[in-house]
Amino acid sequence: MPQTELIAPIHAADASRLIALAEAAHTQKADLVELRLDRCVAAGAQLDEMLDCIRRFPLPTLVTNRHRAEGGAWPGGEQERLDSLLRADRAGARLIDVEFAHCADLPQAGLQARLVLSYHDFTGMPADLAGLAQRMFAAGADIAKIAVTPQDGADLAHLEQLASRCEAYELVAIGMGPVGLPSRLLAGAWCAPFTFGRLAEDDHGSAPGQPTLRDLRKLYRVPDQGPQTRIFGVLGNPVAHSLSPLIHNTAFIHHGIDAVYVPFQVSDAGAFWTACNAWIDGLSITIPHKSALLDHLHGIEERARRIGAINTIYRDEAGQAIGANTDADAAMTCIRSQVGNLDGCRALLLGAGGVARAIALALHKEGARVVISNRTLARAEHLAREIGCQAIALADAPTVDYRVLVNATSVGMNEDLSPWPADEHRPGAAVFDTVYTPLETRLLREAEAAGSAPICGLSMFTLQAVGQFERFCKIEAPAHLMHRHALEALGHSPDHDCGHEALVRAD
C-alpha cells in the first residue's frame, strides 16, 4: 500500500514569495505543495506568473482554484477558472482539484494530471457519504476528497466507515474543525492517498483545524500508519490543550510501536463510544467525561469502581474494554516521594470534585487521617461521610495540623491564585498541587517560601499517563522521557526539577 503523502497548501501575491513557501514546504518534509490559485490571484498575483512557478517548485504540485461556493476566493469568471486548471495541467501539475459540483464543465480527455474531485460541506455532512463517493468516481475522479464538518465525535464513525470501505479506490475523508481533527491525524491508518498540513509559519492553513506538517510527520507519523496501526486517544471537551498526545506518541515512538494517539473532542461521550469503539484500542478520559462511560464497558477495575470515575479505557487479553483510574496511584507516588509512609499522617485535602475523591480514597486506604475542605462545604461533608473521615469549612481549615496539604481544586490553573492563605503554610509540611499549568503555581511558590516542601502536579500527570500506557501496551513506559517532553511543552528545560524523584523508574 503506498504511503499517505503530506501536502502543504501555499499561496502568495508574487512568485518569489510563492517559491520561498514551496522551498519551506520542501524543508519541512512535505511531499507536495497545493498551489491555491484562487487565493494567489485574490491577493493580487498574476495568474501566468503563478502557473509558471509550477516548474520551479522543488516539489510536485496539486493545483486548486477553488469555487467561491466551496470556500474559494477566485475573483474571475467560471470559464477562466476552469481554463486555469487546464493550463496548470499543461504546466506540469501532478494533481488538479476540481469541485465535484462543477466537474462536468471541465474537459477531462487528454489530462496529464490525475484528477481530484472534491466535495465540501462547511456546516454538516450528507447522510449518504458512500453514495456520494461512488458518484464522484463514476464522474471520473482518480481521487475523491470529501471534506465535511462533523457535529460531534460520533460522526467520525461515518468518516471511518467511508474510508475503510473504500479499499479499491483512492479516497480522502476529512472532518473539518476540532471535532474532525482525528480524520486528518489518522489519514495513514484510513489509507488516504494524502492529507494536508500547514507550514510552521502559516497560522491557519487552508481549512479549519489543519495540523502542522511537522506534527503530521513526526508526532502522528501519518506516512508510517496503515490499516494495522492501533488507534488510541484522549476523550475530553475541550481537549486541544492536552499534553497527552505528545507524551503517549513519544512513548510509542520510543518503543517502535505501530500505534497512534489523537485528541477526540467530544460532547456526548456515550454516543461517541457506541459509534467508534470498534476501531479504538484505548482511551484516556478527561474532563467532563470521567464518569460518563462507566456503564458502557465490559469491566471496571476495582479501584476505579470505588472512585466512581475512570481516566483510562484499555483492552484486556480478549479485546474487551476495561475502565481504570490511574490518577490515584499517580498522586500517591508523588505524595509518598516527599512524605514517605502515610500511615497515621494527617492530610488536608482541598477540593471535593473527581480528583479530590480519587486522592481522598487512596490516602484513606494508606492509613492517612484525611480532612476534606471545599468551597462548597456540603460536597466535602458528603465525600467525608462516604469515606469515613472529617470535613471542615475552608475558613476553619488553617486550624488543621497537617503533615501534607493537597490542592485538588482547579484554583491556580492558568491564573496566579492560590487556594490557601500564604501565611498559613506550615514549615516542614509537604504541599502537593495537582494543578500543573503553570508548573510553579502560586500555592507552591508560597509553600516553598514558608519552608514547606512543594510537589508539583506534572509528576502526577506523567505518572497517570505511565499507568495508562502500561495498560494500553502491556510493557514498561519510558516515564522519564514522557516527563521531559511534557516539561519542554510547558516551556521548561527538560531537566527542570519538579519532583523527579517521584518518577521512580528513570529510563
Site residues, ligand NAP (CB under 6 A): 287, 327, 351-356, 374-376, 379, 408-411, 413, 419, 434-436, 457, 460-461, 464
Q: Which is nearer to ligand NAP, 80 or 415 (CB)?
A: 415
In this chain, which residue has its C-beta nearest to ligand NAP? 353
Q: Which is nearer to ligand NAP, 185 or 339 (CB)?
A: 339
Q: Which is nearer to ligand NAP, 229 or 374 (CB)?
A: 374
Give the helix ranges, DSSP H, for 371-478: 377-387, 442-449, 457-473
Name the residue type at position 327: D
Shortest gap between Cβ of 259 and ligand NAP (angstroms)?
22
Shortest gap between Cβ of 23 and ligand NAP (angstroms)?
42
Q: Which is nearer to ligand NAP, 115 or 408 (CB)?
A: 408
Please, are residues 94 and 113 in contact by the beta-carbon 8 Å criterion? yes
Which one from 11, 67, 120, 425 is the annotated catalytic residue?
A: 120
Shortest gap between Cβ of 353 and ligand NAP (angstroms)?
2
Backbone angles phi, psi at 45, to 5 degrees: -75, 155
Q: Which is nearer to ligand NAP, 163 or 411 (CB)?
A: 411
Which one from 67, 158, 290, 483 is the annotated catalytic residue?
A: 290
Shortest gap between Cβ of 391 and ligand NAP (angstroms)?
12
CA-CA-CA-CA torsion sign (95, 100, 103, 109):
positive
Told to judge if 145 belongs to the known catalytic residues of this protein, a careful annotator would answer: yes
Q: Which is nearer to ligand NAP, 263 or 457 (CB)?
A: 457
Shortest gap between Cβ of 401 and ligand NAP (angstroms)?
22
Which one from 11, 67, 97, 145 is the annotated catalytic residue?
A: 145
Strands 404-407 and 346-350, by their bridges, are: parallel
Task: List all residues 6 or more positions away from 34 whose beta carbon is below 8 Å from its beta carbon.
Answer: 7, 8, 9, 10, 61, 62, 63, 64, 97, 196, 206
Which one from 31, 38, 327, 329 is the annotated catalytic residue?
A: 327
Q: Number of helices (H) and strands (E) in the chain: give both, helices first.
A: 17, 20
Shortest gap between Cβ of 437 and ligand NAP (angstroms)?
7
CA 41 vs CA 15, 67, 85, 216: distances in Å: 11, 13, 13, 29
Burial class from Cβ neighbours inside 10 Å (0-12, 13-18, 19+) for residue 158 reads buried
Residue whose grid cell is 517532553: 485
Q: Which is nearer to ligand NAP, 9 or 354 (CB)?
A: 354
Task: List all residues 6 or more positions away from 39 whose beta carbon is below 8 Å from its beta carbon.
Answer: 11, 66, 72, 73, 206
Told to judge if 365 belongs to the known catalytic residues of this protein, a careful annotator would answer: no
What's the rounded Cα separation, in Å, for the pair 366 and 386? 16
Go through 101-138 and write b for each residue having 16 or more CB atoms within 10 A of its CB, e for each that does not: ebbeebeeeebebbbbbbbbeeeebeeebeebbeebbe
Shortest gap between Cβ of 268 and ligand NAP (angstroms)?
19
Told to judge if 327 belongs to the known catalytic residues of this protein, a careful annotator would answer: yes
Told to judge if 497 belongs to the known catalytic residues of this protein, a careful annotator would answer: no
What's the rounded Cα separation, in Å, for the pair 43 and 301? 58
Positions marked catalytic: 120, 145, 290, 327
